[in-house]
Amino acid sequence: MSKVIIIGAGGVGTVVAHKCAQNHDVFSEIVLASRTRSKCDAIAHQLGDKPWITTDSVDADSVEQLVELFNRHKPELVINVALPYQDLTIMEACLQCGVNYLDTANYEPKDVAHFEYSWQWAYRERFEKAGLTAILGCGFDPGVSGVFTAYAAKHWFSEMQYLDIVDCNAGNHGKAFATNFNPEINIREITQNGRYYQDGKWVVTEPLEFHKTLNYPNIGPRESYLLYHEELESLVLNYPTIKRARFWMTFGQEYLTHLRVIQDIGMARIDEIEYNGQKIVPLQFLKAVLPNPQDLGKNYHGETSIGCRISGLDKDGKPLTYYIYNNCSHEEAYKETGMQAVSYTTGVPACIGAMMFLTGKWNKPGVHNVEEFDPDPFMAQLPVQGLPWHEVINADLEL
Ligand code: NDP
């Protein structure tokens, strides 16, 4: 049996559904469930209205509704690609119904723009005792970034010392301002303080305070900004030889100017305000008027390039620099799934992670980050499923 429920019918959910449907030998039955059922129906229709792909609706903020959904369908695994706010309710329902769990973003409370793994790691013992596996952060970053690091540790390094995750989107969607995934989650992430790990401590920076020009393969130089990103938290624990770990993301000037204005005029606020006798959250209102990330794909040109730049000692104790990356074309992603490369690079790894679990390769009761599993079978699937990767040995890492 390998029935899965995919919760969330946004850009990422659409890609996960496409990729799982392409791998029917592994995913024998697929249920698409989201708050708005019509979005699931539209995806099922795009996939050719197959009898083994069905739809349902659920408010994933409600454990009760989730339990009812899981009991009705009895899936082996739930792929959570709704929003980070729903992680804990879905994990709770999984425990109540004996369902395994996978997500792409760590839990974040709605009223505080703060994310960390402690809330989900607190479920470790319960998942372990129940004999259930929870795979956390299985998108691209987090996700493939952790698998790349695990692969480097396994095959190249005796001691990893410096890790920089570099995320470049060199695509152009032709809009003055748009986010590539859920605008609320995206803007909350970028407007936070930056943070990186150095010599056993976390160093906090002002939002987007540090930046540097980095060269990306097939793209060229792009200004890259230091952000806090969730996979740093688990990677420095799982690889204690790491002395410094940072995350960099590229932004264009136009994007940053719009972001500054949005913040300056209060539209990035996440607290409730009174408007015409109604309570609204400015950032949620902004989401309603911004372009929908799912609609960007059609005119999106260019590509993304995401990878890990690592230095340390090789298996013989000699100095080594290592860069491993994937480039993904927005046009190609759109042709295959109707979504742009940011949704594609998140949805494909979520499907591969689910495949790893269902084929018994990543089946380990407890709550785990991706780097805790064997990277090899996952790395073998990446190019097969549309995300080829490349290695550069002993080049200048620029960092
Ligand atoms: P979207 O906003 O496009 O889609 C989210 C979906 O979740 C929508 O279909 C929405 O339903 C549904 N949803 C929201 N709240 C609920 C709820 N309470 N119950 C049921 N369904 C709900 O987001 P994306 O597809 O862009 O992103 C999905 C996830 O992927 C996010 O968690 C994001 O953080 C993560 N992500 C991870 C990345 C990585 O590399 N690891 C990169 C990019 C994204 P409705 O439309 O009906 O409201």
DSSP string, 133-165: EEEE--BTTTBHHHHHHHHHHHHTEEEEEEEEE
| 344 CB within 6 A, ligand 1 | no
Is 70 exceeded by the pLDDT of residue 132? yes
Instruction: Give the span between the Cα atoms of 253 and 94, in whole angstroms.
Output: 43
Query: At 112, is the pLDDT very low, low, confident or very high (cuts 50, 70, 90)?
Result: confident
Window from 31-40, 59-68, 177-186, 339-348 with minimum mean pLDDT: 177-186
> In this structure, which residue's CA is closest to atom 2 in ligand 1?
182
- From the alpha carbon of 84, which atom of ligand 1 is closest? 32
Pocket test for ligand 1, best of 7, 19, 35 (most atoms within 8 A of CB): 35
- From the alpha carbon of 83, which atom of ligand 1 is closest? 32
- Alpha-carbon dihedral of residues 90, 91, 94, 98, nearest 10 degrees? 170
* Section 238-244 average pLDDT: 98
**What is the pLDDT at residue 184?**
87
| 95 CB within 6 A, ligand 1 | no
Is 80 exceeded by the pLDDT of residue 50? yes
Instruction: Return the structure tokens found at 234.
Output: 């688990």
**What is the pLDDT at residue 120?**
98
Between the CA of 185 and the centroid of ligand 1 the distance, in Å, is 9
* Section 368-397 average pLDDT: 98
| 304 CB within 6 A, ligand 1 | no
Residue type, 263: Q
Between the CA of 179 and the centroid of ligand 1 the distance, in Å, is 13
Average pLDDT, the chain: 97
Query: At 214, is the pLDDT very low, low, confident or very high (cuts 50, 70, 90)?
Result: very high
Query: At 115, is the pLDDT very low, low, confident or very high (cuts 50, 70, 90)?
Result: confident
Is 90 exceeded by the pLDDT of residue 114? no
123 close to 89: Cβ distance less than 8 angstroms: no
Who has greater pLDDT, 298 or 22? 22
How do beta strands 220-227 and 211-216 pair? antiparallel
* Section 179-189 average pLDDT: 90
Between the CA of 94 and the centroid of ligand 1 the distance, in Å, is 19
**For the chain, what is the largest distance between any 2 Cα atoms, rounded to a whole number of angstroms?**
69
230 close to 202: Cβ distance less than 8 angstroms: no
Who has greater pLDDT, 96 or 294? 96
Is 70 exceeded by the pLDDT of residue 304? yes
**What is the pLDDT at residue 192?**
92
pLDDT digits (tens, 9 = 90+) for 139-160: 999 999 999 999 999 999 999 9
* Section 21-26 average pLDDT: 98
For residue 290, the SS3 value is coil
**What is the pLDDT at residue 260?**
92
Beta strands in 251-318 (DSSP E): 273-275, 278-280, 303-314
**What is the pLDDT at residue 1?**
60
- From the alpha carbon of 186, which atom of ligand 1 is closest? 34
First to last CA, the chain: 47
